Amino acid sequence: MQQGLELSSPPISTTSIQNTWKRRLKVLGIYFLFINIFGTLIKSPLTLYYLLYGGYPMLFVYLSFTIVYIIDKLLVKNSGFTPYEIIILVLLTYVMLQGGFVTNFYFGQPVFLGMSAEKSWLSILSGIFIFYLLKTKAIDLTIIRDGLLFGAWFNLPWYLLMLVTLNPNQFEGTLFVYCNSTKGGCQFEFDIFGFAFATIYYFVRFIRTNRVIYALFFIGFFAYIFFINQKRGTSVALLGTLGLYFLIYAGKEKIIYYSLAFVLLILTTVGMLEVLRPDINDRIVDMYTSVFLVLTGQETGEASADSRLRESAIAFKYFAKHNFSWFFGNGKISNNWLGGPMAELGHFYASDIGMLGVVYQFGLLGLFIGLSQYWLVFRTHRKLRKEIKNDYFYQAILFFIIFFIVRGIPTGGSFFDPGIAIAASFIAMHFFHYYTQLHPDRNYRLTHNQRLT
């Protein structure tokens, strides 16, 4: 007799999935869930309202759900946890304890304040929440896929409308924009993770089917990220991810043909911009020149790039000042402790200096525990059957995770908000593919006729 939270659901039928109103509402629900996971509204005019009525309440939802889920598992079912759930719970426990005790030891900050400073890490529980919804068949993978793609298409026209009608310079000093003279002043800080997923998904579809419509889709989303968003780390990581997929899955003839077409497209685009908007080309050259100068330890004259050099020096200063902080980390100073982090560190944000910032805040021990999520991806991918590995959505999830890993080198990725929830959620979806293989009797896997293509 079944009991507890994981009541069994009827097996998914072997007929085509019907796009009913119930399913559409679930897709819409997933869209709103990923609005929270991607942190879409944090950097918007609705920041304060979102945090009060959306962001913090969702952290409470994730925490409350997980507590009930753990009690149900241990006391009602007397069953264990999956490797994915164990990694998430161990990582969260480490961060909370480390954040409390390390800052108390090095800075004298009360343990509770150190732990509360890491409250954004509760969002990692969104991964367990999504895994539970999939495991209990409340939703299926196609609903998540359609929710992600709907989000990309729905958000794009709104972003473009605001770009055309609003002047970002008037919002200087708010989270709604970031300002950089090299990039031409202030620009809107729109979330692009949904666009990055759409780029990868449609690129996979294009390489697998040769349909031009998918090429237009992925080029459109990538063009937004490269020319409008202009985040160097994101653009390079995404381009590298697409290139890796291309080399692995495209045949020799495709590689030659599409490589030539890509070079011609780039030359044509650069030529058109040189005639119509030469300032864009100049700005892109300046942006990537600054990256090279930073990597070689030189001043660039660009505030954001030069600040990373100064923040790196601060990190090394505290490694020298605090014994073994390179291993255990220095933790995070709460805004409510004395003068806050600014009083102790000055202008310093660990996420600005990527993996160095991760080691500064969480230590090498925290880095290795955090990277265990990706070890799980590698381990389970090797064990999957070929038909699962060849699934379009599975490949899009896998290569989004690869993109996120590469992007995390300069940004800290899954160790800072909103990357904490993003990594946990996509790894949950990846692990669920393996979970379906372990439990064929539950009919999780969709047959070919069930895929909404």
- What DSSP assignment string belongs to 268-313? HHHHHHHHH-HHHHHHHHHHHHHHHHHHTT---S-HHHHHHHHHHH
pLDDT value, residue 321: 95
Per-residue confidence (pLDDT) for residue 262, from 0 to 100: 80
Quick one: average pLDDT of 18-29? 91
Closest CA to 290 of 417, 137, 392, 410: 410
What pLDDT was estimated at residue 246?
94
Residue 396: HSE in the Cβ half-sphere, 13 Å Cα cutoff: 27
- According to the model, what pLDDT value does residue 348 have? 93
pLDDT of residue 244: 96
In 99-164, which ranges are E strands?
none
Q: Which residue has the tokens 């310093």?
A: 348
* Residue pLDDT, tens place only, 358-398: 999 999 999 999 999 999 999 999 999 998 999 999 999 99
pLDDT bucket at 170, cuts 50 / 70 / 90: confident
pLDDT of residue 108: 95
pLDDT above 90: residue 216: yes
Residue 448 is predicted with a pLDDT of 44
Among candidates 90, 94, 96, 85, which has minimal Cα distance to 126?
Answer: 85
Instruction: State residue 320's pLDDT score.
Output: 96
Task: Note whether 406 and 229 are within 8 A (CB).
Answer: no
Give the type of residue at 39. G
Q: Could you tell me if 412 and 419 are in contact, meaning their C-beta atoms sit under 8 angstroms apart?
A: yes
- Residue 389 has a pLDDT of 93
Least confident of 40-44, 138-142, 191-195, 213-217: 40-44
Mean pLDDT of the chain: 87
Section 85-101 average pLDDT: 98
Measure the CA–CA gap between 73 and 51, rounded to whole angstroms: 31
pLDDT at 2: 39
Is residue 206 over pLDDT 80?
Answer: yes
* pLDDT higher than 80, residue 446: no
Confidence of residue 194 (pLDDT cuts 50, 70, 90): very high
- Least confident range of 24-33, 362-371, 408-417: 408-417
Residue 158's nearest CA partner among 125, 123, 194, 184 is 194
Q: What is the mean pLDDT of residues 329-357?
A: 93
| Backbone phi and psi for residue 185, each to the nearest 5 degrees, phi listed first | 100, -145
Q: Please write the tens of the pLDDT for every residue from 220-248.
A: 999 899 888 878 889 999 999 999 999 99
